[in-house]
């Protein structure tokens, strides 16, 4: 399974809005999900970056008008450190344990049901490749495994139950993991902790000569998989090339294509030489997993 993201342009807007501040008020010592909004980012950042650097980053990303923050950071590598921190600030601010377990149209629940059925049958669980930095899926699956199956009650790492490859890095480690530095999902963090979490992010320009361990493992997992299913993936040309699209086999690859316009759809099919079967452009992930033949078990 390949989990992507369609929030790139929204993230650029959040970063721009987050640094647009005419006057700076006193920053909070800790950030919490309740107060963590783009409007608080500039005040928070003055604890870990110079004010002139914050201003330069904000003005440059706004005037550059990029399609994604990755594109901007590739063009302006001197802003990678502050760009990572901006991404981390926004995404960590979206962490909410209650939302992870909402019942209505939550495709994480459908994934959970699939995994549980395969565990009970002692079958091989899916491997998950994600281009997302956030840890919402990691947290959801850790809670599911450790609370459902006695043999996983004391998991020290999610890898003991299921493999998730974060090919572009991740926002640090969560408190159940055996790591030198970890944090609690959705809890308050200090500016220094934010910076530590952001250092786990690998922006696209850093992957040019080194795809990273997770990408190497992901490539191998995709080669060996019987089926590969893309969910909420943006089908960026660079990411497709890193997934070795030229070697894909017909009948093995499937994916959602929500809001993918006709031109982008045709370009994707041309690039993959029609080796991928796409859902209709109005089908959301939840509905796709309810009806797609490739997901039935």
Is residue 216 a part of any domain in this protein? no
What one-character DSSP code corresponds to residue 273?
Answer: T
Q: Is 98 helix (H, G, I), strand (E, B) or coil?
A: helix
The range of the structural domain enclosing residue 264 comes to 226-295
Domain boundary among 93, 117, 148: 93
Q: Are 182 and 22 in contact (CB under 8 A)?
A: no
Structure confidence at residue 279 (pLDDT)? 97
Per-residue pLDDT for 98 more than 60? yes
User: How far apart are the C-alpha atoms of 128 and 218, rounded to whole Å?
Assistant: 8
Structure confidence at residue 297 (pLDDT)? 83
pLDDT tens digits, one per residue of 29-86: 233 333 334 445 666 677 788 888 888 988 898 899 887 788 888 899 999 999 999 8
Is residue 151 a part of any domain in this protein? no
- Rounded to 10 degrees, what is the CA torsion of 55, 59, 62, 66? -100
Is residue 59 a part of any domain in this protein? yes
Question: Which pLDDT band holds residue 188 (cuts at 50, 70, 90)?
Answer: confident
User: How far apart are the C-alpha atoms of 116 and 110, rounded to whole Å?
Assistant: 10
Question: Which pLDDT band holds residue 278 (cuts at 50, 70, 90)?
Answer: very high
Is residue 32 a part of any domain in this protein? yes
Question: Which pLDDT band holds residue 112 (cuts at 50, 70, 90)?
Answer: very high
User: How far apart are the C-alpha atoms of 15 and 42, rounded to whole Å?
Assistant: 10
* 29 compared with 296, residue with greater pLDDT: 296
- Total domains, the chain: 2
Is residue 18 a part of any domain in this protein? yes
Inter-CA distances, 283 with 91, 129, 188, 276, Å: 25, 21, 36, 16
The two structure tokens encoding residue 173: 């480690």
* 17 compared with 100, residue with greater pLDDT: 100
Is residue 173 a part of any domain in this protein? no
Per-residue pLDDT for 209 more than 70? no
pLDDT tens digits, one per residue of 231-245: 999 898 888 988 999
Averaged over 258-263, what is the pLDDT?
Answer: 93
Per-residue pLDDT for 175 more than 70? yes
Is residue 49 a part of any domain in this protein? yes
Domain boundary among 63, 93, 123: 93
pLDDT tens digits, one per residue of 120-157: 888 877 889 998 899 999 999 999 999 999 999 988 88
* 59 compared with 180, residue with greater pLDDT: 59
Domain boundary among 27, 62, 93: 93
**What's the whole-number average pLDDT of the chain?**
84
* 182 compared with 283, residue with greater pLDDT: 283
Is residue 146 a part of any domain in this protein? no
Question: Which pLDDT band holds residue 294 (cuts at 50, 70, 90)?
Answer: very high
pLDDT over 90, % of the chain: 46
Question: Which pLDDT band holds residue 115 (cuts at 50, 70, 90)?
Answer: very high
């Amino acid at each position: 399974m390949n989990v992507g993201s369609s929030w790139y342009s929204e993230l650029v807007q959040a970063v721009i809005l987050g640094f647009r501040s005419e006057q700076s008020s006193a920053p909070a010592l800790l950030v919490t999900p309740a107060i963590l909004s783009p409007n608080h980012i500039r005040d928070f950042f003055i604890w870990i970056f110079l004010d002139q650097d914050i201003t330069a980053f904000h003005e440059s990303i706004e005037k550059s008008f990029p399609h994604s923050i990755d594109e901007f950071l590739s063009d302006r590598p001197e802003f990678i450190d502050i760009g990572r921190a901006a991404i981390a600030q926004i995404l960590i601010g979206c962490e909410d344990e209650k939302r992870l377990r909402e019942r209505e149209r939550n495709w994480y629940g459908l994934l959970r049901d699939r995994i549980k059925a395969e565990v009970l049958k002692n079958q091989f669980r899916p491997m998950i490749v994600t281009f997302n930095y956030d840890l919402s899926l990691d947290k959801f699956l850790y809670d599911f495994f450790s609370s459902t199956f006695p043999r996983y009650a004391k998991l020290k790492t999610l890898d003991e139950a299921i493999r998730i490859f974060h090919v572009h890095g991740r926002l640090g480690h969560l408190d159940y993991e055996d790591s030198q530095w970890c944090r609690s999902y959705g809890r308050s963090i200090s500016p220094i902790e934010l910076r530590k979490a952001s250092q786990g992010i690998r922006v696209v320009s850093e992957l040019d000569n080194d795809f990273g361990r997770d990408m190497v493992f992901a490539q191998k997992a995709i080669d060996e998989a019987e089926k590969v299913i893309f969910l909420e993936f943006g089908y960026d040309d660079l990411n497709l090339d890193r997934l070795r699209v030229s070697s894909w086999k017909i009948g093995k690859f499937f994916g959602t294509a929500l809001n993918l316009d006709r031109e982008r759809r045709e370009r994707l099919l041309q690039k993959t030489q029609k080796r991928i079967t796409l859902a209709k452009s109005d089908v959301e992930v939840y509905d796709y997993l309810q009806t797609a033949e490739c997901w039935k078990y």
